[in-house]
Structure 1
């Protein structure tokens, strides 16, 4: 099985909003070497409310990933994160008289060269193979439902007047959130992932995102994507937040020593 090194980074911009309500984080599992997690949350709910909801998603993700051990079920971990974060966000709504909500998308890479992800809402995960688009999550949104029913075309969804209406979020007092899982096995050098809020994906097509990620380091890609999103979204750009995870070749070991003949001790 091929060996690879994980190269990852995050990017974030407030856009033209007054407050940054998105959150993003990368974690290693202290009790499970070789496992890593990326998580992105897009908060909603008025001033500070959305930020509190998204922060709770990230905080819960770290807390439960810190308790993860090899042999534990990754899908169960992701579902527990969603359920616990949802419960706490609802309690926050009661105590603060706000109506906070959040989306959720998370990715876990395992030492068995497997990627497992889950999402709720319209924050997305993209998977790429080199410069080629592989797949992406399907939004839990009203317009995606219209697409599924054949009432609008996929290209109409982005500009539909109800494109911001979600049918599945954490923190809702009217419905229990559901989770959608994805999986990809036999990871190899050249595979990459992008997790992002709608403040990023709204301004790009699949090919643009795959090319930007493939041709650059995570930091370079972050700078490029934020700049383009700002150009295209100005003056009504949303919060823009994302994580990039790339699998690259292991660095070649460079010899930093010299071997000398050992003199006889006798």
Structure 2
């Protein structure tokens, strides 16, 4: 029976310190994409949006089942080469990378490409399962039996990935074909959701049913309630009978929607050729209209004139309330400061990998972190990906966990140095 996809894509900056969204998502009639950019001070948003921009041309291509997986793999390789080209053209982009999940529909089948630790799930009938495998340090520990699944969910190094798209020749994704069935519900998500929300909770929200738009909104909302410190992006898609009325327009979210360009020119809805260009142009127009809305004139409702007595009593009420607020803020600040000083993270100081006590933030003129101990590992001796992770900082709940992160970085440094002769391990 012919099928179609009913889909929705949503994203949010999250509650952490990131000032820009480095995730990108795309949902179209035949193509779903999620990319989580990374790279420290390098442009993770450039990486994710570049990859999405290279892949969207597959949407609407009407590829045969025998050709879809091959073409998807070729498109991922082209996207990876584009990353290398952009880094070669700008030193500021060196070290950037991105995870990727892409699903390309052909008939009743889905071609799937996956690299990194972003995830794809399926809810089919009564069974909920993850259909991608994380390419991460924690997954390797899990595969080796060194930690349990429960320990993996809260492991302090769960953000360390072992394979992503970085422009290198050996950045090879997992490729597979799946049979799609009417009634299937798919979820693609960045680790801003999966690292902060339990799998059972994600499953429960997917089981609630409702339109993909409603489900996507609920997933982002639950990630924010869980205080996600990362960008959170989701793509939800239901497999429906092709005869079912579906009025979806292609959707672009995150960094890709902020870079509404085709080459170096802005995309105009009338001249847009690909579904992604059209979606980006429509998104830009909608945002422009929303930002251009003016509040009602008049500055709000008028108040009845107050007598001197009522003004005086009102002032006293506000003064009392202000005192309570100041006291509450002072208590909250004290509790927050004490909590922050029980945390640790790994960053850099004067080019050396360094363990800090506290959190990598400042509160006005007050610093919430201090150097606990310096290491003998130069940041420049690390592979480019891990240099980016150190620049972004790696959090730890105890000092011992921070020491463990440092030892893992030391191992990567040694691999980098011993493999530098053939260039297979270390990217300068």
Quickly name the TM-score band, shorter chain normalised: 0.7 to 0.9
Are 2:190 and 2:234, in contact at CA under 8 Å, matched by a contact in 1? yes
The unaligned stretches of length 5 or more in structure 1 are 29-35, 253-266
Question: Structure 1 length as normaliser, TM-score?
Answer: 0.82
Give runs of aligned pairs for residues 53-68 of structure 1, distance below 5 A. 53-65=47-59
Q: After the TM superposition, which residues 252-263 of structure 1 pair with which residues of structure 2 at under 5 Å, given as runs? A: none
Structure 2 regions of 5+ residues with no counterpart? Answer: 246-428
| Partner SS state of residue 233, structure 1 | coil
- Tell me, in whole angstroms, the C-alpha distance in 2 between the residues paired with 1:5 and 1:76: 22
After superposition, residues 66-215 of structure 1 pair within 5 angstroms as 69-70=63-64, 73-97=67-91, 98=93, 99-111=95-107, 113-130=108-125, 132-173=127-168, 176-185=170-179, 187-214=180-207, 215=209
Distance 1:246 1:198 in 2: 21
Question: Matches of 1:220 and 1:207 in 2, distance apart?
Answer: 18
Query: Separation in 2 of the partners of 1:71 and 1:130?
Result: 25
TM-score in terms of structure 2 length: 0.52
Query: Aligned with 1:73: secondary structure?
Result: helix
Does the C-alpha gap of structure 1 residues 65 and 221 become closer, same or farther in structure 2, counting only changes over 3 Å?
closer
CA RMSD of aligned residues (A): 2.2
Equivalenced residues, count: 239
Residue of structure 2 in register with 1:239 after alignment = 231
Deviating 4+ runs (over 6 angstroms) = none
Structure with greater Cα Rg: 2
Deviations 1:179-230 (Å, cap 9, x if unpaired)? 1123322x33211111111111122333332332232211111111111100
Q: C-alpha distance in 2, partners of 1:208/1:73?
A: 37
Aligned to 1:11: 10
Which structure is richer in relative contact order (CA contacts within 8 A, separation 6 or more)?
A: 1
Cα distance in structure 1, aligned partners of 2:219 and 2:173: 28
Shift of the alpha carbon at 1:172?
A: 5.0
Q: Deviations over 1:137-181 (max 9, x none)?
A: 1100111011111111122123222211111111155x6112112
- Whether the aligned pair in 1 keeps the contact of 2:182 and 2:239 (CA below 8 Å) is yes
Q: SS at the partner of 2:117?
A: coil
